[in-house]
Amino acid sequence: MRIIHTSDWHIGQTFYSYDRTEEHKAFLEWLRGQLAEEAVDVLLISGDIFDTPNPSAASQGLFYEFLLQSVTANPHLQIVAVAGNHDSGARMEAPAPFFEHFRIHVRGLVHRTAEHIDYRSLVVPLYEKDNESPAAYCLTVPYLRQSDLPVAEEGETNRVALFYRYAFDTARELCGEKPLIAMGHLQAVGSELTEDDQSERAIIGGLECVNPQMFDEALYTALGHIHKAQRVSGREQVRYAGAPLPMSFAELNYKQGVQLIELRNREIVSLDRLYFDTPVKLLSIPTKPLDKVSVIEELKLLPDRDASTDNPSLWPYLEVKIKLNAPEPNLRFEIQQAIESKAVRFARINTFSDRVDKSTTSALVSLDEFRKLSPEDMAQRVWREKYDEEGMPENLRHLFGEVCTELNISLVKTEDHEN
C-alpha cells in the first residue's frame, strides 16, 4: 500500500497581501501528478487545508476540483483528511455524503453525546487495489478543542493524551491485527519550530503539547500543524509532512514537499520525501543585514524585468534586511524606487540594530504601570530599546507632541481610566 502524507496547505492564504492562488494551483497540479506517477492508494491530508474557517468560494472550488480530478484519474485512490485549527470542521464535513461516494473521508469534528465521545467514527478502513478486505485502518483525529476532550483522570491530566489513548483503544479493537495509521493536527513534544516563526507561534498554545510516545501504537503517524517537515523525537514513523508552500520568511530554508510511505506485509518498507519545487521563491536581501546604502546598492544589482518574467504572480517575495540605528522615514520609498524595474514583489523590511544589550530597557511592566504610561513615555521606551539610551532628540519629541495634539491625545495622563 502506497500512501502520500501532506498537510498545512493553507489554501486562500495571502502573503503580505499578495494573492497565492497560482502557487496553490501549481502545488495541487504537482500533487495530482505524484498520485498517478507513484501509484498511490491513499492520500492523507493532516489539517489546515484552508487558511481560514470561512474560505472564499474560489478557495473551496480549488479544493473540490482537486478532489474530483484526483479520484477520477485514480479510480482506486482513497483520500482521508482531518480539519486543522485553521479549518472549520463543520464546514469541511458538510459534503460528507458526496465525499463518501467518491472514497473521500473527511473528519472535521469529534461527535459526542453528553457522556460519550464517538471514537469509532474516527476510524476509517483503508483498502489496497483489488482487495475487498481492509489492508489497514486509519485513526483520523481532527484538531482537538477543549470541548472535544474527555474529563481528566487521576494519573492523566493531559486531556489530549487521554483522548488519543481512548481513540487508540477503540481503533485497536476495530482493526485487530491489521496495521494502524494515525492522523492528528497538534504540536508534539520534540518537534522543532523556527525561532521567529510568527505564523506557528500564533496558533500554538492553549492545548497541551503531547508526548510522541503515545503514537507508538501506530505503524505510521501523519501529523500536521508544524510547517517544517520533520520526524518527531527521532521517531522515523512519526512525522510532520510540512507545508507545501512557505508561510513566512522564517521558512526560507525549508524544503517543501510531501511524504511517501510504502507498507508491505504490515511493515513500513520505505519512507521517502517527494520534493515540490515551489513556483514562487522567497528572496531575502542581503544575506546578512547591512546599512541602508549597501542594501540599496545590492537591490539595484537585481536583474531587470524581461520577457521571461512577464507574469508578476510568479515574481519572488522580497524581504529586505537592514541595519538601522536611527529611524529612516523614507526607507520604504527608497527601497521601492530601487526595485521599480525588478521582477520582485516587495514584502517586508526586517530591521536590525547594533545594540546588543536590551536588558536595561526591555524590562516588563505590570498592567498598572502600563496604564500610567503616557504616549510619550511609551515612545521613549521604544526609542531607547531600538536606538539609544539618550532618548528621542528634542525635535522629534516636539513633532511627536504635535501629532498627539492633532490626534487629541493628552501627553500627560492626569488620572487613571478604570473602564
Q: Which of residues 68-87 bind Mn ion (CB under 5 A)?
A: 84-85
Integer CA distances (angstroms), 367 to 214, 373, 383, 413, in order: 40, 10, 21, 15
What backbone phi and psi angles, to 5 degrees, belong to 140?
-105, 95
Rounded least distance, CB 199 to Mn ion, Å:
9
Confirm or reject binding of residue 48 to Mn ion (CB under 5 A).
yes
Rounded least distance, CB 15 to Mn ion, Å:
17
Check: CB of residue 62 under 8 Å from CB of residue 25: yes
Q: Nearer to Mn ion by C-beta: 85 or 248?
A: 85
Confirm or reject binding of residue 148 to Mn ion (CB under 5 A).
no
Stretch that binds Mn ion, among 14-22, 165-173, 221-229, 279-287 (CB under 5 A): 221-229
Stretch that binds Mn ion, among 41-49, 121-129, 285-293, 318-326 (CB under 5 A): 41-49
Count Cβ atoms below 10 Å from residue 317 Cβ, excluding itself.
20
Find the DSSP H helices in 276-330: 292-300
Size of the site for Mn ion (CB under 5 A): 4
Distance CA 233, CA 221 (A): 13
Q: Which of residues 84-143 bind Mn ion (CB under 5 A)?
A: 84-85
Q: In the structure grid, which three cell numbers stand for residue 408, read together?
A: 487629541
- Of positions 107, 225, 228, 345, contacts Mn ion by CB under 5 A: 225
Distance CA 136, CA 177 (A): 9
Rounded least distance, CB 254 to Mn ion, Å:
15
Integer CA distances (angstroms), 334 to 60, 151, 328, in order: 39, 58, 10
Stretch that binds Mn ion, among 12-20, 40-48, 91-99, 402-410 (CB under 5 A): 40-48
Check: CB of residue 92 under 8 Å from CB of residue 59: no
Name 346's bridge partners: 318
* Spatial CA neighbour of 199 closest among 51, 53, 315: 51
Q: Nearer to Mn ion by C-beta: 207 or 299?
A: 207
Stretch that binds Mn ion, among 43-51, 167-175, 228-236, 364-372 (CB under 5 A): 43-51
Rounded least distance, CB 110 to Mn ion, Å:
17
Distance CA 1, CA 335 (A): 52
Confirm or reject binding of residue 319 to Mn ion (CB under 5 A).
no
Q: Nearer to Mn ion by C-beta: 225 or 384?
A: 225
Q: Nearer to Mn ion by C-beta: 10 or 384?
A: 10
Binding site for Mn ion (CB under 5 A): 48, 84-85, 225
